[in-house]
Every structure is written in C-alpha cells, then in structure tokens.
Amino acid sequence: MQRLYDIFSFERIDLTFSKLDFWLFFLAVMLLFSVLHKNKLVRSIYLVAVSLFFYYKTSGLSVFILIFTLLSNYGIGLSISAASRTFSRKALLATGIILNVLVLSYFKYAYFFTNSFNELFHTKYEVFNVISYFQNGFNTTGNHNIFEKLLLPAGVSFFTFSSIAYITDVYRKEVPPVKNLFHYSFFISFFPHLILGPIVRAKDFVPQISHEYHLEKEEFGWAVFQILKGLFKKLILADYIAVHFIDKVVDAPEAYPGFVSLIAILAYSLQIYGDFSGYTDMATGIARLMGFKLMKNFDSPYKSVSTADFWRRWHISLGSWWKNYLYIPLGGNRTGGFASIFTITIIFVFLFFITQWYFLSFVYIGLISVYLIILLLFPDYKKNIYRDINLLITMTVGGLWHNPNQNFVIWGVLNGIGLVIYNHWKKISPYENSNMWIARFWKILLTFSFITFTRIWFRVEGKDEPFEYLMHIIYAFNFSEGAFWLMFGTFTVPLILMIIGYFLHWLPESSEAALTRIFVKMPFAVQVFISCVFVVGIYQLVADTSKHFVYFSF
C-alpha cells in the first residue's frame, strides 16, 4: 500500500517504462480506463489528467510548461484556421513557431548562450531560472535553493515538435484544427509517446480519438510482445551491456588495448539502439492496449545499405519531422536560395559561439565563394548544390538539437557529409542496384561501420576526448590472441549478450514476424505465464543495473 501511495502522491518518483512503479501505475490507470472508455470526451479528459500527472511525476512543476504549450498551440491552431487573409495566417504560424522554439531554446540552450557570451565578451551574466523562482515562491520550508540549475523538462523536444507539426499542418490545410481542447490535449500529451516519442502527427492520431475502444486477442498478444521485446532491448541490450562493459571501457580507454575500445564503441551502437527502440516498442505496446496505434519508429536500422537508408530506418518519426518541416521548406532536393544561405549563415554563427574557432569565418567565406563560382560556371549543377547544402543544414541542426556542443555538431556534420557523398556515389557505384548477397553484405558493413564511427562523437564526452579515443584505437590497437581471451574472460556475459543482440537484429524480418505470430496465437494463460517468467528473469539479471534512457538528455 505504501508503494501505491508513493506512486499516486505528489512526491516525484521515477515512472519510466523500465521501472516496476510504472507498471503498477499503468495497471491502476487501465482499471479505471476500462470503466470510462465508452464516452469519448470523458476518455480524453481522463487520459489528459493521467498524462499531466505522469508528466508531473517525471518533471515536477515543468508540467506548467506542457500546459502552456497545449493551450497556446490549441489557440493558435484555431486562429490560423479562422483567419481568411494569407498574411494573417502566415503571421500566426510564424508566431506559433517562434513561441515554440523560444520555449525549447530557453531550456536547451540558455546556459550555452550565456556561457558562450561570457567567454567571448568576458562578462559574468547568469541564467535567470524562472522555474526555480516560481517554485521557491510557493515553498514554505524555508529552503530557497530547490533548483540550483535549470533542468531540462523531460520530452520538451518531442511535444514541442508535435505542436509545431500540428500548427504547420493546419496552416497548410492538411488537417482541420481540433475543436475540442481535451481531444487536442490528449493528442499531444498522451503519456506513452509524451517523453520520447514517437512524434505524432494530427492526421495519424486525431482520427483515432473518435473510434470506439476495442482490443482483440491478437492485438493484446501483439502489444504484450512489443512490451516484452522493449524490456529486453532496454534492460539487457542497453543497460546491462552499458554498465558492465561499455561505460568501463569508454570512460577509461587507456586501461584497455585499442581493440577493446573499438569493440566498446561497436557495443555502444547496440546500446543506443536497444535503449531508444526499446522505449518506442514499449510505447507502441502500451498505446495499443489502450486502443491507439503509434507509428513504427525503428525498422532494423543496422540492416541499412546506405546512409540514406539508415536515416529512413532510424527514429523514423523524427527523420520525417526534419524532412517535412526543415529540409523540404528549405527547398529539399529541388531548389534553394536565400533560405538555404541564410540558414547556413546562422549555423556558422552558432558554431562560432560553440567552438570559438576563428577560422570558421574564413571557411564560411570560402564555401560561399565556391558555391557562387560553381553556380556561375555550371548553372545546371545548381539543383545538386542546393540539395547538398540543405542536407548538411538538416543534419547539422540535428546535431545541435541533440546538444549545443562541438561533439554533437561534428556528429551531425559527419552524417550530413555521409549523405552528400552517398548521393553522388550512387550515380557511379558499380553495385548500387546489384542483388548479389556479397554486394548487399558489403553495403551493410560499410554503412554500419560509418554510423558506428560517427558515434564516437555521440558517446565520448569532452572537446578533445573523441579524437583521443579514436587515436587510442588506432595507435594502441595491440590485438593478440592472449589479449582477446583476457578481454573475453573479463567481460564474458556482456560480450555474449552483444553477440546475441546483433544476431537477433540481423535475422530476417520474417523470423521476428513468425515469433510474434506464435506468441499471439498462444492461449491467454500461456501468454501471462511466459510474460511473468520472462520479466522475473530479466529483472533478476539486471538487479544491479539501472540507467536512464539516453534520449532523456535531449
């Protein structure tokens, strides 16, 4: 009883999907949901209340940021739809986008801009922590240091992106505005996707709000299988391998030969996939148990045959968002111009603040000069130049979105360069359209190797440490049979799990589909028994392992 009291009290506790407390919370939510689901408006009101409470347990008073976002974008969406003049519609859309970006920027980039400004101009400005000021005003304990530092609200990027997509789609007349405030709030704040996505779009989710609730046995079995799969990915392929292998090696690479550091970064690719896709597997399963469908967010990304194919398979909802609301508005692969040049100028200014590399100004002038010369000499090549610039902008902004520091910028730029090179290479590649297994194997290996290489800047912290880590792999490789077996003996279990994880990932999709069908067709009692044994076994293995989801930081 005490545990249930803690879960439903206003004391903050961790309600992430990998915790037992969340599943007790979800069970209680479903019990009341089973009574209320027949009335669609009551169902929406109930799930909005549940989602706001869930968010409060995760992020405290930052729930008011979510409420502000819901109310403001609901009003802006209605106003855009009601406006008859094109100028008014554009002004309202611009206001909405700027408002959302300002909210996101305050929490993600306030310290970055302040520190960069202080370093550049030798000032001592401090970030005004409005959340701390607000909470201290209601604090009766006499402790006025509740928040010493501005904290990033969980999921702020994801519900902000969903909000921008909604008002943009209303402006484009791709969807009508949601008239009911509670239906709209439910669409944005539905707790399975609220924190880490997948990012939902109104045209996919809002029509489901009017549907009657139903859950067939096959849907129930599919949802449970997704949840079990997600728990396995998160707790075994991500957390266990990270705690017992990756963190130990990456945080102290000098203690191990270079080849061990290489294997650790290969393991990190599995960790981040298991961590993020595990969350979205559980989210889709939870949503389906409540009668709603969320989009598939990962499609076996390490089976990709090119960088372009990888970014179509990895975090599909975010990739689609970047494409629809940044890449295409810039001109996509068709055109470009002032918007592309203006955006890349802003990015260079931003990078100048991040790195304080003064030579960037010369790089920028050089790139623009080359750009103008090519346009003058080869006007037919203009389309390809615009496409390449727009790709680089999109991936660089993606890196900055993750974190405004040098490492994530390099990661984004590297992936942008990879996309640009592939777009040119595929025109002359001798095996681009080959169906031979050796060609497919080579393309998958090359793509996976490149993506894993860029992950060095994603995982290793510090300005110089990623380069040092890479140099350690190269110059201190020191591979020998004895060193290999010593490493394997030290990290036996996590390395075996890593091999199993990649083996399962690279199995044909038909294998997973067959396993899903087998589980779905089992009697309900057998499904429950298998689920209980599976969950107990996993939690026994990872009893000393617990890590937050990686993308909670973004």
One-letter-per-residue 3-state SS of 271-328 = HHHHHHHHHHHHHHHHHHHCCCCCCCCCCCHHHCCCHHHHHHHCCHHHHHHHHHHHHH
Asked whether residue 296 carries a pLDDT value surpassing 50, the answer given is yes
Domain co-membership, 228 together with 369: no
Instruction: Please give the mean pLDDT across all residues of the chain.
Output: 85
Taking residues 319-336, report their average pLDDT: 81
Domain co-membership, 421 together with 381: yes
Which one of 213, 234, 257 terminates a domain?
Answer: 213
Q: Which residues are catalytic?
A: 402
Give the pLDDT of residue 141: 44
Nearest to 138 by CA among 302, 10, 232, 1: 10
Domain co-membership, 198 together with 223: no
Give the pLDDT of residue 355: 62
Give the pLDDT of residue 44: 95
**Banded pLDDT at 187 (limits 50, 70, 90):** very high
Asked whether the beta carbons of 190 and 292 are under 8 A apart, the reply is yes
* CB-count burial class (<10 Å; 0-12, 13-18, 19+) for 373: exposed
Residue written as token pair 């629809």: 324
Structure-model confidence comparison of residues 41 and 535, the more confident one? 41
**Banded pLDDT at 356 (limits 50, 70, 90):** low
Which one of 196, 213, 230 terminates a domain?
Answer: 213
Nearest to 190 by CA among 230, 218, 162: 162
Give the pLDDT of residue 509: 87
Nearest to 156 by CA among 66, 275, 75: 66
> 41-91 pLDDT, tens per residue?
999 999 999 999 999 988 888 889 999 999 999 999 999 999 989 899 999
Token couple for 538:
């996993």
Its pTM stands at 0.89
* Residue 294 CA from chain centroid, whole number: 15
Domain co-membership, 204 together with 241: no
Lowest mean pLDDT among 69-83, 393-407, 444-458: 393-407
Asked whether the beta carbons of 375 and 407 are under 8 A apart, the reply is no
Whether residue 436 is contained in a domain is answered as no
Residue written as token pair 């968010």: 55
Give the pLDDT of residue 144: 42
Domain co-membership, 236 together with 357: no
Asked whether residue 228 carries a pLDDT value surpassing 50, the answer given is yes
Token couple for 305:
């045959």
Whether residue 441 is contained in a domain is answered as no
Residue written as token pair 């998958």: 444
Domain co-membership, 40 together with 188: yes
Whether residue 454 is contained in a domain is answered as no
Whether residue 403 is contained in a domain is answered as yes
Q: What stretch of H or E contains 165?
A: helix 156-171
Which one of 407, 425, 443 terminates a domain?
Answer: 425
Structure-model confidence comparison of residues 269 and 542, the more confident one? 269
Asked whether the beta carbons of 548 and 270 are under 8 A apart, the reply is no
Whether residue 180 is contained in a domain is answered as yes
Rounded Cα distance, 408 and 456, in Å: 10
Asked whether residue 309 carries a pLDDT value surpassing 90, the answer given is yes
Domain co-membership, 195 together with 286: no
Domain co-membership, 172 together with 52: yes
Lowest mean pLDDT among 55-64, 251-260, 334-343, 440-449: 334-343
Domain co-membership, 204 together with 220: no
Whether residue 88 is contained in a domain is answered as yes
Whether residue 507 is contained in a domain is answered as yes
Domain co-membership, 465 together with 502: yes
What's the residue count for the chain?
554
Domain co-membership, 284 together with 137: no
CB atoms within 10 A of CB 440: 14
Asked whether residue 149 carries a pLDDT value surpassing 60, the answer given is no
Number of domains composing the chain: 3
Domain that holds residue 79: 2-213
Taking residues 217-225, report their average pLDDT: 92
Q: What stretch of H or E contains 80?
A: helix 63-82
Give the pLDDT of residue 67: 94
Domain co-membership, 240 together with 389: no
3-state SS, residue 17: coil
Rounded Cα distance, 47 and 188, in Å: 11
3-state SS, residue 465: helix
Whether residue 444 is contained in a domain is answered as no
